[in-house]
Every structure is written in C-alpha cells, then in structure tokens.
Chains A and B, each alone.
Chain A
C-alpha cells in the first residue's frame, strides 16, 4: 500500500474511532433516560378521536364537495365556459383546480369513509398532515424530494399518494382534484380488494389499476368509467416546490429541507393535495 493510501486509511479509521468515542459520550449523556409508560387511556382516546375524524372525513370533504357539486350543477350544464373551481381554492396557477369532465346528469358526491397514505414505502409519508386534510383544515403534503420522481430507499418508487375508501363498490362518474400538479394518476381497486391494502415498499397497491392520468399540460382528468370501492390518487411526478411557495398558507413540510439537494439548481419537489371530490355515476 502506498504511503498516501495508508494515510487515507488511517484517517478513515481515526474518524471511526472518534465516532465510537462520541457514541460513548452520547451513551453517558442519555444514561438514565428510560422508556416511557404507555398511557392506554390516552391511546384509546386517540383512536376514538381518529374515528370521529374519519367521520369528519365525511363532514370535512362533504362540506367542500357539496359546494363543488352546487357549482357544478349551476355552471356545469350546457356551458362551454371554463370548468368551475371549487370554492375556497387558492390561486389558479400553478395549482390545478378543476372538477371532472362535465357529467351528463346531476352528479352525486361520494363521501369517503376513510383516507390512508399509500407511499410505496412505509406508509408514513405526510402522515402528520392526514388528520388536518381529512377534516378539511389543510393540505396533505408529500415528502420533499431532490427530483420530480419520488424515491424510496434512494431508489425510484412508482408513486406516492392517498387511498380513499368509498365504503362500498361505487360506479364513478369522475374525480375532482385540487392541489399541485405534476403527474397525478387515478387508480381503482378490483372487486377482490375488500380492505385498505397494506403498504408494500416499491409497489403500487395490489389489485389496483390505472384509470386516468392528469399532467400539468391540461390540468384535467379525462373521463373514465370504473366501479370500485377504493380509489388511489397517485403522484408519479412531483412539481417543484418553488411553485408551491407562491401559494399562501401551505403547511410546513415534514422532511429534511435543511439537507441540500445536490442537483443543478438545489430545487426540491413536493406534492400537495388540498381536496379530492369523487362523483358517483348516475
């Protein structure tokens, strides 16, 4: 081994040695920090709250979707004008805000009974924003990534998003989406799927298939026919975060914004879903 190589190796070993010493100091500092006693009553209260909130999915989404439905009924029939915008929505660009392709008869809004994260990772992506989202108090946000393709364990993953449980098999008339656009897809579950699927790393949910895709170019989901109980709203490409910064009141993101991305412009990418409206086909 050359002298330089030997020095480099020694330096690496020295750093490892320092790391070990730091671990010992950390162990001393944390010595005496015991585990915590789980408060069972608190956990059960949290679960009850969660169930109320799931009921609140109904209330929160219904309050938005009924208003959207009214708009659709009012403006949607026989008009060649622009698609109606859900009330309470922010700026029109670059955030996508639209209702589905105009139905031929009065649309019925389907209120999901539950919403879960499906991030093709461990199910934790944006979990802290889910409660506010289901209550209609805030957006659900993805993690921030260093490129438009979401990743898991540093490998590209097929997408990230939310699964809506509609409670029963439902013929869909369309989906309205309010949030930031990148490439967003709608996937429907086969009738064989009877429970919210477990998250499988690196895979879309089993038994789901793509029924519609929306890109930033047109900002609309095309018309589609599907009958399903579960619906996946799925980001496969995320928009740049600087677009989102222009939108007021965006909640802070959860992940590692202070770790700079090593791409050309240092940009980060993040998806945001403000609300989703599901229409039943009449």
Chain B
C-alpha cells in the first residue's frame, strides 16, 4: 500500500471516528462510570479497528464492530478487576417516584452512576444497551449472544433494581 493510500485511509477512518465516537463514548461512560476509563476503552477499540480497517470498513455496520469491542473490553476489565458487585437497598418508600421527575436531574444523575455501579456487569450492559442505546430486545440478544428471554429478564430486573437503588438514595438525600 502506498503512502498516499495510507493517508487516505487514515482520513477516511478519522471521518468515521468523528461521526460515531460521541455515541461510543457515552455508552462506554455509562458502562464504566468515568470519562477517563471510557476514553481508554474507546481509544483501545479504535486501535484494534484501525489495524483491520480495510476489512472492517466493508462490513455492513462497522460502528457495531467498534461498539462490540468496547463492550467486550469493559467485560474484560471487570473480569480482571474481579469486582464483586454488592447490591444494596430494598424497595424504598419513594420507589414509585424514582423516575418520576427527570427535571430533578442533578441528584438523579449522580444517583444513576452510583446505582449502575451496583449492578452485575452483564445486567448493567443490558440496561445500557436497552435503555440508553435503545436497541430492541432482539438486537441486544444478538449483540451479547444470548437469548431474548435472558435480555428481557435482565432488563426488567435491572430497571427494577435501579429504581429501588435510586429511590433509596434520593430518600436518604431528602431525609
């Protein structure tokens, strides 16, 4: 491959990244909970993608390839850290109001990140893909290579657990 072809390829990849990276970054941020770790995940995914870019660019959805690497890398990082999630809190008295007022967002934003930290990472991934990426149950199942029943169960339990965790936290903030 000539130097000119290489420069053209790099430009082409740069355009792809500029267009798609905000979405990967936000997903990575919700998966790992902080900006620096999210950036590490995405940069690492970009390196892996660029070395195979000639092949990846011919795929139907090259952005999904990057997203899958981000998700897999997050799983690997979790596994390496041997993080054992601890679920706290029960059904709070404000459970029915937990997601009631998005405008009350400042406290909820912090609560959300803390609550996401409490989910098992598979459940967290399903919740992020289902409710942030707004992928269908089928699409999440395809991405994670599991059954649609599994996705439905994880999404439903994850949503309920988040509601409880956030309500407990917001209850304690009020009290």
Contacts and interface: CB of A to CB of B under 8 A. Distances in A.
Given A19-B159, A146-B146, A254-B75, A33 B51 contact: no
Contact of A47 (B30, B50, B73, B141): B50
A29 B25 CA distance: 12
A161 B72 CA distance: 18
Given A30-B29, A38-B46, 16 more contacts: A18-B159, A21-B99, A22-B131, A29-B113, A30-B132, A33-B38, A38-B17, A43-B10, A43-B13, A44-B10, A143-B145, A146-B146, A252-B76, A254-B76, A256-B75, A259-B122
Contacts of A21: 99-100, 102
Given A24-B102, A254-B72, A36 B112 contact: no
B121 A259 contact: no
Nearest to B27: A30
B150 A196 contact: no
Contacts of A257: 122
B25 A35 contact: yes
A26 B129 CA distance: 11
Interface string B7-45: 000100110011011101110011000010011001100
Contacts of B90: none
A23 B131 contact: yes
24 contacts: A18-B99, A18-B163, A21-B102, A25-B108, A29-B30, A33-B29, A33-B35, A35-B18, A35-B22, A35-B24, A35-B25, A38-B21, A46-B50, A47-B50, A127-B69, A143-B145, A154-B138, A154-B141, A154-B142, A254-B76, A255-B145, A256-B125, A259-B144, A262-B150
A260 B150 CA distance: 8
Interface string A169-204: 000000000000000000000000000101101000
Interface in A63-85: none
Nearest to A36: B21
B157 to A, nearest CB: 12
A230 B113 CA distance: 48
Contact of B43 (A39, A144, A199): A39
A211 B17 CA distance: 41
B55 A199 contact: yes
B162 interface: yes
Contacts of A42: 43, 47
Interface bin, chain B? 35 or more
Interface in A253-274: 254-262
A15 B120 CA distance: 21
A259 to B, nearest CB: 4
A123 interface: yes
Given A15-B159, A29-B30, A198-B58, A23 B22 contact: no
B144 A256 contact: yes
Interface of B: 6, 10, 13-14, 17-18, 20-22, 24-26, 29-30, 35, 38-39, 42-43, 46-48, 50-52, 55-56, 58-61, 64-65, 68-69, 72-73, 75-76, 79-80, 99-100, 102, 105, 108-109, 112-113, 120-123, 125-128, 130-132, 134, 138, 141-142, 144-150, 154, 156, 159, 162-163
B102 A25 contact: yes
Contacts, number: 168
A34 interface: yes
B156 A122 contact: no
A23 B132 contact: yes
A122 B65 contact: yes
Contacts of A116: 52, 55
Nearest to B147: A262
Contacts of A201: 60
Contacts of B6: 44
Interface string A187-231: 000000000101101000000000000000000000000000000
Contact of A28 (B79, B108, B130, B159): B108
A199 B162 CA distance: 39
A256 B29 contact: no
